[in-house]
Amino acid sequence: MMSNSTSLTVSYFILGAYLNIGYLRYLCFMITAFVYIVIVVANTSLIVVICVNRSLHEPMYLFLCSLFVNELYGSTGLFPFLLVQILSDIHTVSAPLCFLQIFCLHTYGGVEFSSLTVMSYDRYLAICYPLQYNTRMTYKKAVIFIILVWLYSFVKFMITLSLNIRLTLCGNTINGLYCSNYLVVKLACSDTQVNNIYGYFGTVLTILVPLFPILFSYMRILRVCFSGSKQTRQKALSTCTPHLVSLLNFSFGCGFEVLQSRFDMSGVPSVLRIILSLYFLIIQPLMNPVMYGLQMSKLRNICKHVLRYKLLAGRSNN
């Protein structure tokens, strides 16, 4: 292992959070592979359904499609890497691959929060201004919002990554299951003041800035719900519930990951730390397609129709 007191050019990193579980690793491999397959199938199916059905070419479903693409993007940044590491005896990763994973996972988080922000604004327009919704949120505007969400998240983190790559490192052991931005910064023996300042600034841009339009949107939605009809309340409940659950779930997972990377969590059992570090990268891509697919009536009905058609086609072929 490389020394932690001498500066060096790091060509690879050692992942120090993997436990020696013997033959149980094969069970972990199968469970992880199964979860990844479910995530890919569920999200891809809904992306295809939205793209193929012209009746779903509306702003709300375009935002959902972008969200499902992001779930695939984030999962692919983690799961193939995780599957390789589970079966490996030596848990190492090359420096370029490590920085690529950092970029994928952090931009995934940025796109997720920004997408949920835009979706909350979309719901605010749909519920508070139903008669003006089609002019305020057009197909073209929805596409522009989606492009801006992805560009904003990618450019913002490119600055963070460029600051990290220039650091001189005095070690190569990352205390995690996968590569994390701040865990790499903690290995630096050069000045990290700029990285820390921009890191906090980036966290504010990623989490706190989107929080204000979300709070504003839901305050206005609640106001309309309390003063509106029963039909308005039902519409708000059916469209806003999956969004709120998704937002709270992702915020919880990201919150723990930020706490774990920034503060000493040695008092928390290692198994619990491992589970919670993977929470936002596993539960969110699993939950979103299931929750939105079941809760959004139009999407649910089309999915039922497609499944029924495939079952009938399969029976007729037999």
pLDDT of residue 265: 66
Listed residue (1, 21, 43) closest to 177, CA to CA: 21
Listed residue (160, 163, 256, 161) closest to 201, CA to CA: 160
Given its phi and psi angles, is residue 22 left (phi above 0), alpha (psi -120 to 50 degrees) or beta? left
Q: Which two tokens stand for residue 229?
A: 């009809």
Contact 137, 125 (CB under 8 A): yes
Give the pLDDT confidence of 27-61 residue by residue, as tens digits.
989 999 999 999 999 999 899 888 888 888 889 89
pLDDT of residue 149: 94
Tell me, letter by letter, the H, E, C secondary structure of the chain. CCCCCCCECCCEEEECCCCCCCCHHHHHHHHHHHHHHHHHHHHHHHHHHHHHCHHHCCHHHHHHHHHHHHHHHHHHHHHHHHHHHHHCCCCEEEHHHHHHHHHHHHHHHHHHHHHHHHHHHHHHHHHHCCCCHHHHCCHHHHHHHHHHHHHHHHHHHHHHHHHHHCCCECCCEECCCCCCHHHHHCCECCCCHHHHHHHHHHHHHHHHHHHHHHHHHHHHHHHHHHHCCHHHHHHHHHHHHHHHHHHHHHHHHHHHHHHHHHCCCCCCCHHHHHHHHHHHHHHHHHHHHHHHHHHCHHHHHHHHHHHHHHHHHHHHHC
Task: Output the pTM of the full model.
Answer: 0.87
Contact 160, 199 (CB under 8 A): yes
Listed residue (254, 120, 92, 245) closest to 178, CA to CA: 92
12-297: which CATH topology?
Rhopdopsin 7-helix transmembrane proteins (1.20.1070)
Residue spans of the chain under pLDDT 70: 1-9, 228, 232, 261-266, 268, 297, 306-318
Could you state, in order of their start, the residue ranges of all structural domains in the chain? 12-297
Give the pLDDT confidence of 72-99 residue by residue, as tens digits.
999 999 999 999 988 888 888 898 899 9
pLDDT of residue 274: 76
CB atoms within 10 A of CB 285: 29
pLDDT of residue 146: 96
Give residues with Cβ within 8 angstroms of 290, minimum separation 6. 42
Listed residue (122, 120, 129) closest to 244, CA to CA: 120
Contact 114, 149 (CB under 8 A): yes
